[in-house]
Chain A
Amino acid sequence: MAIHRLEIEVRPGLVDALAEQTRRRLEAWLGLRPAGIRTRRVIHLDLGLSDHEAQRVLAALVDPVAEVGAVGMLPDEAPTPDAPPVVLQVGLRPGVTDSVGTSVRRAAEDCVGRALTGRAHASTLYLVWGLTEAQVQEAADAVLHNPLVEHARILAVPRALDLQVPRPGDDGATAVAVVPLRDDDDDALTRRSIEGMLALSLAEMRAIQQHFRERGRDPTDAELECLAQTWSEHCKHKIFAAPIEHTYATGATEVIEEGLFRRYIRGATEAVAARRRDEGIDAQDAPYLVSVFHDNAGVVRCTEVDHLVYKVETHNSPSALDPYGGAMTGIVGVNRDSFGTGRGADLLANVWGYCFGDPHHAGRVPRGLMHPRRIRDGVHHGVIDGGNQSGIPYMRGWELFDARYLGKPLVFCGTVAVMPVESAGRPTHEKYPRPGDRVVMVGGRIGKDGIHGATFSSVRLDERSPVQAVQIGDPITQKMMFDMLTEARDRGLMSAMTDNGAGGLSSSVGEMAESTGGARIDLALAPLKYPGLAPWEILISEAQERMTVVVPPDRLDAFLALAERREVEATVLGELTDSGRFVVTHGEQAVVDLSLRFLHEGWPRALLRARLDPPARPPVDEAAIAAAREPARQGEHLLALLQTPELACGEARARGYDHEVKGLGVIKPFVGVRHDVPASATVMRIRHGRPEGVVLGEGVHPFYADADDHGAFAMAQAAVDEGVRRVLCAGARWDRMAALDNFCWPDPIVSERTPDGEHKLAQLVECCRGLAQACEAYGLPLISGKDSMKNDAVLDGVKISIPPTLLVSVMGQMQDVSRALTLEPRAAGDVLVMLGDTREELGGSAVTRCLGLRGLGDAPRSDPDRYAQRYRAFVAARDAGLVRSAAPIGRGGLGIALAHALLAAELDVEVELPTTNLDPFAMLWSESTGRLLLSARVDDLPALREHLGSHGLVTLGRLAAPTAPRGARLRVRWGGAALLDVGVDELRTRFRSGLPD
């Protein structure tokens, strides 16, 4: 069949923006200065077109004003006769999702007016003048391609016509293999698990062996894979479910029989729910907690017509291997989680947060890893494309940096959705599958993408990590699927749905099967991207953009017709049953026949041991600390802190993310007169024409975890406290907050490679304890969460483990968005006050990290019960209109909060530090929790004191119209003398230069 090659480039004289960007990156990253670059889009049409049709397709694809194109090749004319270019072609590897190719095929069909079989393939050509082949190869390796998903070839010039297209798949057998493990000894079982990438422990392999011995047969390869997926840490959260024998620092020992999840996470939420009942906070028929823990995302009540849904996920390992594709999969994947809750929710807002190695990292990067700057660029780019193309604004974004994230970056992505209380006459949060309902796979096709993703995220990363573990998202396919499924929901065409994420069909159908007590599917019906997939691969593939939908038989025709009309692929794979079994066939061939009970409950619970055994503290650096504490040095510290990557502005990068789509934003991610100061929290309407809003904030303090022996407990409480303070400052109601917990931990299971596992597990226990205690104090239910427990990398024989990291994402509600507040002080003459007391709590603080100080004491300790009283008083004062601006004092302490006030308002900020037993260093940079920086009218100060006087209200100073000729200044005095005096321009220059654009 004829293959046609198309080449398209920007018309001479217009800007080739990709070439221009490439030129900048080569210069900035590699110091390469080519004399010229030109780029071309190359498309191979493998669609069975005639030459004439190919010409028509070209004419339809080329922009007649801005581009030129050719069937075949465009001439590679050199700008000067003696300078041939080096020509580099970058294309996708076989089987990698090619969404551009998919759109080209659609365009070709529209153009020739008939359906086409075959594929179109997109690639990019770089013509580079003035560099050697070796230099272009270097650029290809370091900047222009990722060998995991792309190939890059330097073409000989003059070029010959290249009509090669990737042909993934093969005609390989689709046989089911039997795994003879009944006679295996322990060594053989362990080997099978490791070599098969199953991530099953010996105890689990033994349980499987025992089960099949009892049944008198060996498992199939697919059954073993299915069990490995279902029992993976990723899916079953075994560490959170296991009984733990925990030894406290005092030496006392306790067995947490029910496991961490039941005791602390679920326990806290149940306690909050019980208190709401006891205190009659909610109307009896309208509980605040609508659906928690058992669905893809948590659901809470908001208005009489809408619930709110929220979920945050991590996508760490894939983002380390392919930052762009891995991170994009992170955002479009969590979109499916929130979308697939109940019978479907409408996506409202995305959030992201990343932990990376230092982007300025100058040292060597271990083999198998990318430079943190490249990871950062790719992750941003992937989440930007995924979110923007889905039409969902981002509302929160943050970045933290530490050398320990070099081995595994953390990529948190989350999505808030609005769920209509009812749809098609039923509560939307309920699924009602019945035996006999059809199981329908909707969306993309199945390939080898993401095979072993679930088990892979449950093992550490090394140089041999599998290439197929990375999936690349296709947001448009997903958007079209969501639009179609929303119509199906509103028309009552489905009884249940869930996401195809980790574990693929084995997990999604396996889960759905639990609801009716069985399922039967035929994999031969599943649409494949290419031939040659074994049944077990079809079953566990994590190919993206797929939902598993349950459709009552009498709605099936309507459902399938709607899908066809919307150009969304939908295929009936089987049906739900009540047989008690998960049965999978491939045509006539038996593939899986497992009892649901064994599949979901058969995994052995091992007792885990936890014991706090903190490493010895590094020696205290007395001289350096004394020098840093010199009052005269504090101005210098402020400038240095504002320039650290995690306190720097970050606006340039963040503006790549859409934050205006939907037109519902009220307080957006950046505030201030130059809108470049990160908002403490954001506010968004939840529906057009209505005043109610959702308020988003978060807390994340991984650097407290290892700051002292009980840092993990302190970290959890600080994270909850900061999340709560953020949303309250922006205007959230006290009684309608909810939180999500996302744990990212280094491996906490003792092994040869992890001798300190008991301590890391003890840190996890302490973290959970701190989390639960704080949540109960604030009446804050944990409505959903996620854990990622193997964030270690072994590279070049060196193990790099992340610091224990807990992200607490808080979602608040407000009745009227026009009452929202920001951190920006509003007028000259207003007073600045601080609520809450400051202690010397510098362990793990930004200033100690920035200045490299060791031994500065403990991380901040919180007192959630007392803070809860304080915040309720604050909310009352806020709602009485006594507060004009409000900000939590967090990372970087009071000093950074004051700098933000100056940068946001560009008013003079004049402060006299209170006289306490603290020196200015501690007063400015301590990160004591529970504190707010507020501004108020002078006239309101007495009333404010009445509300807050008993909660630690300190007058700091006032705001004034700028007097200096060069703009507003921050002036801080201490003990009657000037301590710090810095202008807004100087601050802004530092603030805006701390992160590469």
Chain B
Amino acid sequence: MTAGGASGAAAAANRTRWTVDPARAAGPVALRSARMSEHAQSMQVSDGDGSPWDFVPGPVPGARDVRALVLSGYGLNCEAETAAGLRMAGARAEIVHVGDLVHGGGTQLDGAHMLVFVGGFSFGDHIASGRVFANRMRFGLGERLARFVDDGGLVLGICNGFQTIVKLGLLPALDRRPGQGLAPQQASLVHNDRLGYRDAWVRLSIDSRSPCVFTRGSTGVPLPVPSRHGEGKLVLADEAVRARVEGEHLVPVRYVDADGNATEAWPDNPNGSMAGMAGLCDASGRVFGLMPHPEAYLYPENHPRWIAQRDRGRLPAVGHGLGILVNGVRAAVE
């Protein structure tokens, strides 16, 4: 007997973009991106094309009362930099152990404005990334989380956090109505086309028509951020889900090539996600997740080309990744 609720139409969803390797058509079908390069190549990261933001990320006026909960424990490991970034944005960041949150029935969420699922390897990503963590949250705290979102709470998931909130049904959460519990899982993050973990900087284009509150204020210049994961390829349950997320602009960020075009080609796109999808938001725009790590670009010196940027007079005052967190805090203040 087989399990798995959603229909198996993931292949059909992107028939136009994927080709079967004819040499191996006799065997079980493995799909590969038509544009995937076979050989290692080096990617050039720009020395700086100006700011991706039309504002200077920094402390948000009125943010002192913004409470942001940053989850930790069970193998999560980006809580320190995420909390540091939120503090740079002026918010009160509290690092909360997942165990305390679940055992306490989520009381810490009372009065909180933002909940951040940080990066890491929750429970070792054993079985699949984020799976055990998502189950624990769903079984232990599902109703409370749904209520937090209904009440306008902001949720940000980064890397393992994105994997987790997608598996929790918080993204893309199509057709979910307030008062309902968590939505069923409609998307997933699976192994990169090139199996294995890879650490490299990527560029993200920002869809200015997306409702996402975390990506507001884009100048159209791509956002450079480090990407580091082994399971970052976004797959959507079926063609209908794909049409909805595209049509409703629920893909706020995409991997782009040097010319700024969304790409499926490695290494600009590290995992082979269709149409360069690097993240998702829900229809409210207040729940956002992405694979790359904006919280690892808080300082100008995080950028691999910071010395060259400074020589060209283009070193930003703070890391551009901070803009995502500042946007979140601004949304909480509004």
- Chain A residues engaging chain B, CB cutoff 8 angstroms: 10-21, 23, 34-38, 41, 55, 58-72, 74, 79-80, 99-100, 102-104, 106-107, 110-111, 113, 122, 127, 129-130, 384, 388-391, 474-476, 479-480, 483, 565-567, 651-652, 655-666, 668, 670-671, 673-676, 685, 688-689, 817-818, 820-822, 824, 826-827, 988, 992, 997
The residues of B that contact A566 with a CB separation of less than 8 Å are: 73, 97, 99
The 10 closest A-B pairs by CB, nearest first: A36-B27, A391-B77, A13-B11, A663-B81, A17-B191, A103-B126, A688-B84, A476-B124, A65-B188, A674-B42
A113, A391, A661, A822: the one contacting B307 at CB < 8 Å is A822
A65, A664, A826: the one contacting B308 at CB < 8 Å is A826
Bound together, the chains give a CA A67 to CA B189 distance in angstroms of 11
Q: Is the CB of B195 within 8 A of A476?
A: no
Bound together, the chains give a CA A924 to CA B76 distance in angstroms of 49
- Given A17-B193, A391-B78, A661-B78, do A106 and B121 touch, yes or no (CB 8 Å)? no
20 more contacts with CB within 8 A, not counting A16-B28, A111-B135, are A63-B167, A64-B5, A64-B185, A68-B2, A69-B3, A70-B3, A79-B26, A107-B131, A389-B75, A391-B77, A391-B120, A476-B124, A651-B42, A655-B200, A661-B78, A666-B299, A666-B306, A675-B201, A685-B299, A820-B301
| B215 at interface, CB cutoff 8 A | no
The residues of A that contact B127 with a CB separation of less than 8 Å are: 41, 61, 100, 103-104, 107
Chain A residue nearest to B27 in the complex (CB): A36
Bound together, the chains give a CA A821 to CA B306 distance in angstroms of 11
- Given A19-B30, A652-B40, do A661 and B228 touch, yes or no (CB 8 Å)? yes
Q: Is the CB of A100 within 8 A of B124?
A: yes
Give the distance to chain B from A517, nearest Cβ to Cβ, in Å: 38
Q: Is the CB of B187 within 8 A of A662?
A: no
A58, A71, A476, A661: the one contacting B119 at CB < 8 Å is A661
Bound together, the chains give a CA A475 to CA B120 distance in angstroms of 12
The residues of A that contact B316 with a CB separation of less than 8 Å are: none
A38, A65, A102, A676: the one contacting B28 at CB < 8 Å is A38
Give the distance to chain A from B14, nearest Cβ to Cβ, in Å: 9
Interface-forming stretch among B54-62, B108-116, B148-156, B290-298? B290-298
Q: Is the CB of A65 within 8 A of B43?
A: no
8 contacts between A and B (CB under 8 A): A71-B1, A389-B121, A391-B121, A476-B123, A479-B77, A565-B99, A565-B103, A663-B80
Q: Is the CB of B100 within 8 A of A565?
A: yes
Q: Is the CB of B139 within 8 A of A110?
A: yes
Q: Is the CB of A110 within 8 A of B135?
A: yes
Query: In chain B between 222 and 265, which residues have their CB closer than 8 angstroms to a CB of chain A?
Result: 226, 228, 233, 235-237
Chain A residue nearest to B77 in the complex (CB): A391
Bound together, the chains give a CA A988 to CA B44 distance in angstroms of 14
- Given A37-B27, A61-B127, do A992 and B228 touch, yes or no (CB 8 Å)? no
- Given A391-B78, A658-B197, A660-B228, do A14 and B28 touch, yes or no (CB 8 Å)? no
A103, A661, A827: the one contacting B296 at CB < 8 Å is A661
Give the distance to chain B from A757, nearest Cβ to Cβ, in Å: 44
The residues of A that contact B237 with a CB separation of less than 8 Å are: 64-65
| B313 at interface, CB cutoff 8 A | no
A14, A18, A34: the one contacting B195 at CB < 8 Å is A18
Q: Tell me what chain B mostly uses at the interface: helix, strand, loop, or mixed.
A: mixed
Give the distance to chain A from B136, nearest Cβ to Cβ, in Å: 5
Bound together, the chains give a CA A475 to CA B187 distance in angstroms of 28
Chain A residue nearest to B185 in the complex (CB): A64
Chain B residue nearest to A992 in the complex (CB): B40
The residues of A that contact B3 with a CB separation of less than 8 Å are: 55, 58-59, 62, 64, 68-71
Q: Is the CB of A663 within 8 A of B136?
A: no
The residues of B that contact A390 with a CB separation of less than 8 Å are: 77
Q: Is the CB of A69 within 8 A of B97?
A: no
| B275 at interface, CB cutoff 8 A | no
Q: How many residues of B contact A (CB 8 A)?
A: 94
Q: Is the CB of A104 within 8 A of B126?
A: yes
Bound together, the chains give a CA A173 to CA B192 distance in angstroms of 50
The residues of A that contact B42 with a CB separation of less than 8 Å are: 651, 674-676, 988, 992
The residues of A that contact B186 with a CB separation of less than 8 Å are: 65
Give the distance to chain A from B215, nearest Cβ to Cβ, in Å: 19
The residues of B that contact A652 with a CB separation of less than 8 Å are: 40
Bound together, the chains give a CA A772 to CA B171 distance in angstroms of 60
Q: Mark B1-21, 1 if CB is under 8 A from A, else 0.
A: 111111010111000000000
| B196 at interface, CB cutoff 8 A | yes
Bound together, the chains give a CA A479 to CA B126 distance in angstroms of 14
Give the distance to chain B from A855, nearest Cβ to Cβ, in Å: 38
Q: Is the CB of A14 within 8 A of B235?
A: yes
Give the distance to chain A from B158, nearest Cβ to Cβ, in Å: 11
The residues of B that contact A68 with a CB separation of less than 8 Å are: 2-4, 8
| B72 at interface, CB cutoff 8 A | yes
A15, A384, A658: the one contacting B32 at CB < 8 Å is A15
Q: Is the CB of A662 within 8 A of B81?
A: yes
The residues of B that contact A18 with a CB separation of less than 8 Å are: 191, 195
Give the distance to chain B from A686, nearest Cβ to Cβ, in Å: 12
Q: Mark B111-147, 1 if CB is under 8 A from A, else 0.
A: 0000000011101111110011001100110000000
Chain B residue nearest to A122 in the complex (CB): B126
Q: Is the CB of B199 within 8 A of A64?
A: no
Bound together, the chains give a CA A263 to CA B114 distance in angstroms of 59
Give the distance to chain B from A235, nearest Cβ to Cβ, in Å: 31
Chain A residue nearest to B237 in the complex (CB): A65
The residues of A that contact B10 with a CB separation of less than 8 Å are: 11, 13-14, 65-66
| B45 at interface, CB cutoff 8 A | yes
- Given A12-B29, A38-B28, A476-B124, do A827 and B131 touch, yes or no (CB 8 Å)? no
The residues of A that contact B176 with a CB separation of less than 8 Å are: none
Chain A residue nearest to B124 in the complex (CB): A476
Q: Mark B30-55, 1 if CB is under 8 A from A, else 0.
A: 11100000001011110000000000
Bound together, the chains give a CA A685 to CA B301 distance in angstroms of 10
Q: Is the CB of A663 within 8 A of B295?
A: yes
The residues of B that contact A480 with a CB separation of less than 8 Å are: 73-75
Q: Is the CB of B132 within 8 A of A688?
A: no
Bound together, the chains give a CA A104 to CA B45 distance in angstroms of 40
Q: Is the CB of A100 within 8 A of B74?
A: no
Q: Is the CB of B307 within 8 A of A824?
A: yes
The residues of B that contact A64 with a CB separation of less than 8 Å are: 3-6, 184-185, 188, 237
| B220 at interface, CB cutoff 8 A | no
A36, A55, A657, A992: the one contacting B199 at CB < 8 Å is A657
Chain B residue nearest to A388 in the complex (CB): B197
Bound together, the chains give a CA A739 to CA B57 distance in angstroms of 40
The residues of B that contact A21 with a CB separation of less than 8 Å are: 195-196
Bound together, the chains give a CA A112 to CA B88 distance in angstroms of 42
The residues of B that contact A103 with a CB separation of less than 8 Å are: 123-124, 126-127, 132
Chain B residue nearest to A475 in the complex (CB): B124
The residues of B that contact A666 with a CB separation of less than 8 Å are: 299, 301-302, 306
Q: Is the CB of A11 within 8 A of B296?
A: no
